[in-house]
């Protein structure tokens, strides 16, 4: 039986990773990015478990834990701190302030679900769902024959690289990763991938120049180049991307099956 898990986390990338992993194991994630929003959702949704960051922009995790434990209908709900605080005594303070447990950051995708399920009853254990990481409807690969093709994923954030790998590989793609455009261009020149999926904003790099370098290379220019971004700038990045030759511009957060469908379309030669 799946568990309803409320995640209270202001870092969007951490939130997306936890959401992805929970869905991949059949659980039902509920998301909040502020303490007050999390408290409101806890009252409304009655989750089976609450995962909470300590350093939140409004109501910090300690105050939030106390508020949850003072509520007659929520006091029995396990509240787990998910935090990077790792100094001596931090774990003891977390437990003393009302939390029922502690999961350290950075989140380890291989161990996260077992860490979460340690705080759930036996009837709420999950089960790994294959195909596109547990979207609401199972993703069915199209008959385009694009599976087993190679996708080069370029992102300076290891969490995003993990998300991409864990989404694409179960769907049959071979994933190669690069931490920056320089490394990616070297990889692409050495063994041309079937598609390049690149983050838009990487400190110290002009990603449009990376796209131009790909399109200026006669051996690489036919490779579909897809941008992905967690920020919205009113369309400026999107317009520049398409005018420079990008095949698609994807905005995070995105459901796994939607991402897969867009990549399939680009591999089939479509635009936008």
Of 5 and 171, the structure prediction assigns the larger pLDDT to 5
Q: Where are the beta strands (DSSP E) in 135-212?
A: 150-154, 174-178, 195-199
* Token code pair at residue 268: 């089939």
Q: What is the pLDDT of residue 130?
A: 40
* Average pLDDT, rounded, for the chain: 83
Q: Which of the residue ranges 126-130, 190-194, 202-206, 210-214 has the most confident prediction, judged by mean pLDDT?
A: 210-214
Does position 152 have pLDDT exceeding 50, yes or no? yes
Report residue 232: phi and psi, to 5°. -120, 125
- The Cα–Cα gap between 224 and 215 comes to 10
Other Cβ atoms within 10 Å of 110 Cβ, number: 9
Instruction: Provide the β-strand partners of residue 151.
Output: 175, 195
Does position 52 have pLDDT exceeding 90, yes or no? yes
- With H, G, I as helix, E, B as strand and everything else as coil, classify residue 50: strand
- The Cα–Cα gap between 169 and 151 comes to 10
pTM as predicted: 0.52
Q: What is the pLDDT of residue 184?
A: 95
Q: How far is CA 143 from the centre of its chain?
A: 27
93-122 per-position pLDDT tens digit: 888 888 999 898 888 888 899 899 999 876
Does position 137 have pLDDT exceeding 50, yes or no? no
- The Cα–Cα gap between 243 and 130 comes to 37
**Range scoring the smallest mean pLDDT among 19-23, 125-129, 155-159:** 125-129
What number is the average pLDDT over the span 198-208?
Answer: 91
Q: What is the pLDDT of residue 257?
A: 83
Peptide bond into 201 cis (omega under 30): no
Q: Which domains does the chain have, with CATH numbers?
A: 4-123 (3.40.50.2300), 142-267 (3.40.50.2300)
CB 202 within 8 A of CB 156: yes
Which residue in 97, 13, 93, 6 sits closest to 50, CA to CA?
Answer: 6
* Token code pair at residue 110: 């291989």
Place of tokens 């983050």: 199
Residue 163: pLDDT band (50, 70, 90) is confident
CA angle 147, 148, 149 (to 5 degrees): 90
């Amino acid at each position: 039986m799946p568990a309803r898990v409320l995640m209270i986390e202001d870092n969007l990338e951490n939130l997306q990773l936890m959401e992805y992993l929970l869905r991949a194991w059949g659980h039902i994630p509920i998301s909040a990015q502020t303490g007050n929003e999390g408290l409101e959702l806890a009252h409304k949704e009655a989750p089976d478990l609450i995962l909470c960051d300590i350093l939140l922009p409004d109501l910090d995790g300690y105050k939030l834990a106390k508020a949850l434990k003072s509520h007659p209908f929520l006091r029995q709900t396990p509240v787990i701190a998910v935090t990077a605080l790792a100094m001596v005594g931090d774990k003891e303070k977390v437990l003393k302030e009302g939390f029922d447990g502690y999961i350290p950051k950075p989140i380890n995708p291989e161990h996260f679900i077992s860490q979460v399920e340690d705080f759930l009853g036996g009837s709420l254990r999950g089960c790994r769902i294959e195909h596109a990481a547990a979207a609401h409807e199972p993703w069915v690969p199209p008959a385009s024959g694009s599976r087993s093709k190679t996708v080069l994923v370029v992102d300076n954030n290891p969490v995003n690289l993990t998300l991409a790998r864990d989404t694409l590989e179960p769907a049959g793609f071979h994933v190669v990763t690069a931490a920056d455009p320089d490394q990616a261009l070297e990889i692409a020149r050495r063994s041309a991938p079937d598609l390049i999926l690149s983050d838009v904003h990487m400190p110290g790099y002009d990603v449009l120049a990376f796209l131009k370098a790909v399109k200026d290379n006669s051996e690489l220019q036919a490779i579909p180049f897809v941008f992905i971004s967690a920020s919205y700038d009113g369309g400026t990045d999107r317009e520049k991307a398409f005018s420079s030759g990008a095949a698609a511009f994807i905005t995070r957060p995105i459901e796994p099956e939607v991402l897969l469908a867009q990549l399939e379309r680009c591999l089939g030669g479509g635009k936008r």
